[in-house]
Structure 1
Amino acid sequence: MDEAARISALNRYQILDTVPEERFDRITKIVQIVLDVPITAISLVDEKRQWFKSKLGLDVTETSREVAFCAHAIQNTDPFVIENASTDTRFKNNPLVTGDPNIQSYLGIPLVSPDGFKVGTLCAIDTVPREFDAQSIELMKHLSQLVVHQLELRQRIDRDPLTGALTRSAFANDVKQAISIFLKQKIPSTLVVLDLENFKTLNDTFGNIIGDELLRCVSESVTETLRLSDSFGRIGGEEFAILMTGISAEQAAKKLDQVRDLIETGTFGRIEALRISPNFGIAQISNDTDAVHKWFRNADTELRITKRRRISISNS
């Protein structure tokens, strides 16, 4: 198994550490009711952990990959069945078996992306030994395909069709999650708002076709420089936003120098002489940043300061 490619396939969904969603919770509830199990989960497996996008009967949101049953389940495409974990040499000493949540039987169906990578599992868990009949396994197979369909649908709906950036609402969800992580773990993050100097004039002069291509090219330039852990969204006509997790405003500013160079030296459409320049507003999260709108307001304030400074320099 190409683990690097598998992790890349998982990261493309940009779903790790996101908030619960009804579309996934509905599936785990169906599993719990139909299979009559106390524990069900949609588990996604990254480099070091399994993280639960949806869960019933579990108090934790993740476990280490070393103890995860799902880490075994993604090793092949067949259903992974454990009827009695206490007598299974692979799991009888597992802390998830000997302690909470006291796993005794497990059925896991790999979640296989359209390009063939197993990104996680849909699993049904019981606290007593049991067999899972063919009908239950067949149902789980169908539901696992539904999970993947929802992952794909979520990715398409949350993307701006022109630029491929996250929509405003999807990006705001990522910002909300970054705030939650900071308040719990104090991991720094930086929010950047970005607009394009004189875009309206250029769009009016050269037309919407060139304007749209310019926006696509800007999006490609930004995406090219970002890390997999960063988020990029389109929040308005020519307005974008970047969320950089785990870095300070100073570190973000250095990364944005690369973004500026790519945008300012880019060739857009069929007009060689057409040039565009970005403005950035940079705001690092702080203890006072307890809401999405506050963080955006801080970044917008910095953007206005940047633009006034730019006008002042050009007039001097």
Structure 2
Amino acid sequence: MNSAVQIQEQTRLASLDRYDILDTPAEEAFDRITRLTRRFFDVPMSTVTLIDGHRQWFKSRQGVSACETPKGPAFCSVVVREARPLIVPDAAADERFANNPFVTGAPHIRFYAGAPLRTPEGHSLGTLCAMDTKPRAFTADQVDTLNDLARVVMSELELRVLAMTDGLTGALSRRSFRGELSRAFALALRHRHELSCIMLDLDRFKAINDEYGHPVGDLVLSAAAAACRDELRKSDVLGRVGGEEFAVLLPHTGLASALKVAEKLRAAVARLQIPTPREPIRVTASFGIAALGISVGSAETLLEHADAALYLAKDDGRNRCVEWRPAAIAQPGLRRRVLKAGQISFNGGRSTIDCTVRSLSEEGAGLKIVTSAGVPETFKLLIETDGFSRLCRIVAKADREVDVAFV
């Protein structure tokens, strides 16, 4: 991959990250579109697909059992790479796809039509596609219709970004919170009053979704937001800035007082008991706190400091509150959130596995992969966009996640 393509891919991933859509629960707005696609074109399968560094992940799927599959053989990867619709009347007769595992094996694709999900800036995030187990023709009018439906998908994604409040939790949306943060930061500088920010992240939330399902996960998110809101002043601002991540803006509040607020929020979340069909479950959250100071030159920096402190809280055992201090940035293990395409390389470079790098520091990284099976204990992590190559050893792994330390 040449440097221009690498830069373009990283820009695309940064655009995808802005929508905060990966690994979120199914939503009727998107399911409605895949149902319409399936009925309109009389096909058994339709998906809204998003492509990150290592996989195609389905925000919505009809007639497809898997929620994600590897990026490499995905038809949708071709659409994203070429940024134009792809029509394959008979995959078995097409030399590009005849030996594709999704053709020779489940879901046995013979016909494929995919339209890119393009942002206003022109980045292709994924596809809306229609698939069949039988060959078929697809007219120019049908391609136009598929493109129109793909634009409806993008309109839904844009509405999520522009929405003032998060529909599930009632907290401000990511964009709205950042707007409030910028306004509060400017006022604090102008009138020389204190300002603090708290970042909080629910601990091991993915395990809750995996074990109890997304409806219970939604209950956890709503309950956690409500518990926090009950402990805050009317002048404080609560926003949902990620899947299970929230931020709190505390005007006229210094670091010492913000720490007390964070501890109240931590205790409130820890007291929750979320009902499930089996038994009530308890949850905890980790908190990072930062305050306006001489090292904070922008609203974004204040948020970054709180986020850095949150990572320290996670690394220090979770379910705790940690304040940001200048020395904290240099502490080993501190990672920043990223979304980068990477490769796991081993056997002298003869074997590679695509991965998505989701956190990164000088000491290590957090990777997402299709499956951790077959990943050796030591390997090289490559991030071509950054010219990055480091020898790694695994320090922890789950089914689709690997934490590594650089050696």
Same fold (TM over 0.5): yes
> Structure 1 unaligned runs (5+)?
185-190, 224-228, 243-248, 270-276, 287-297, 307-316
CA distance in 2: counterparts of 1:267 and 1:236, whole angstroms: 15
Separation in 2 of the partners of 1:125 and 1:234?
41
TM-superposed deviation, 1:267: 6.6
Quote how far apart the aligned CAs of 1:42 are. Answer: 0.4
Q: In percent, how many aligned pairs have the same letter?
A: 33
1:148 match: secondary structure: helix
What's the CA shift for 1:181?
Answer: 4.8
Distance 1:93 1:15, change over 3 A: same
Residues 24 and 175 (structure 1), Cα distance of their counterparts in 2 relative to 1, 3 Å cut: farther
Counterparts in 2 of 1:14 and 1:88: CA distance versus 1, 3 Å: same
* Structure 2 counterparts to residues 1-316 of structure 1, below 5 A: 1=5, 2-157=8-163, 158=166, 159=173, 161-164=176-179, 177=206, 179-181=208-210, 232-234=245-247, 256=288, 260=290, 263-265=292-294
Which whole-Å CA distance do the structure 2 matches of 1:31 and 1:150 have between them? 15
Deviation at 1:162, TM superposition (A): 4.5
SS in 2 for 1:37: coil
After superposition, the Cα gap between the structure-2 partners of 1:50 and 1:148, relative to the gap in structure 1 and judged at 3 Å, is same
Q: What corresponds to 2:192 in structure 1? A: none
The amino acid of 1:82's aligned partner reads V
| Deviation for aligned residue 1:264 | 4.0
1:26 Cα deviation after fit: 0.3
Partner Cα distance (1:6, 1:174) in 2: 29
Indicate if the aligned counterparts of 1:19 and 1:177 stay in contact, CA closer than 8 A: no
Change (3 A) 1:175 1:24: farther
Question: For residues 202 and 245 of structure 2, what CA distance do their matches in structure 1 show?
Answer: 12
Shift of 1:111: 0.4
1:78 counterpart SS class = coil
Per-residue CA deviations over 1:13-50 (Å, capped at 9, x if unaligned) read 11111100000000000000010000000000001100
Deviations 1:70-93 (A, max 9, x none): 000112232101011001111111
Distance 1:149 1:26 in 2: 14
Alignment CA distance shift 1:165-1:105 (3 Å): farther
AA aligned opposite 1:156: L
Q: TM-score, normalised by structure 1?
A: 0.61
Bigger strand share: 2
Partner amino acid, structure 1, of 2:50: L
Q: Greater share of helix residues, 1 or 2?
A: 1
1:273 — aligned with what? none
Q: Structure 1 residue 283: deviation in Å?
A: 7.5
The answer (yes or no) to whether the contact 2:118–2:124 under 8 Å persists in 1 is yes
In 2, the alpha carbon distance for the partners of 1:174 and 1:83 equals 46
2:54–2:70: 8 Å Cα contact kept in structure 1? yes
Measure the CA separation in 1 of the matches of 2:89 and 2:34. 20
- Report the equivalent of 2:277: none
1:233: how far off?
Answer: 2.2
User: Following TM superposition, by how much is the alpha carbon of 1:178 offset from its aligned partner in structure 2, in angstroms?
Assistant: 5.9
Q: Calculate the TM-score normalised by the size of structure 2.
A: 0.48
Q: Per-residue CA shift, 1:172-220, capped at 9, x if unaligned?
A: 9998556325889xxxxxx999x9xxx97xx9xxxx8xxx8xx79xx9x
In the alignment, the residues of structure 2 paired with residue 104 and residue 267 of structure 1 have an alpha-carbon distance, to the nearest angstrom, of: 56
> Deviation of residue 154 (structure 1)?
1.0
> Looking at both structures, which has the greater relative contact order when contacts are Cα pairs under 8 Å and sequence separation is at least 6?
1
Counterpart Cα distance in 2 of 1:26 and 1:176: 27
* Structure 2: gaps spanning 5 or more residues: 167-172, 182-199, 214-220, 252-260, 267-283, 299-304, 324-407
The CA distance in 2 between the partners of 1:266 and 1:124, in whole Å, is 52
Give the match for residue 289 of structure 1. Answer: none
State the 1:164 CA deviation.
Answer: 4.8
- Report how far residue 232 of structure 1 moved: 4.2
CA distance 1:19–1:173, shift in 2 (3 Å): farther
Q: For 1:11 and 1:99, locate their aligned partners in 2 and report how far apart those are by CA, in whole Å.
A: 31
Deviates more, 1:56-65 or 1:68-77: 68-77
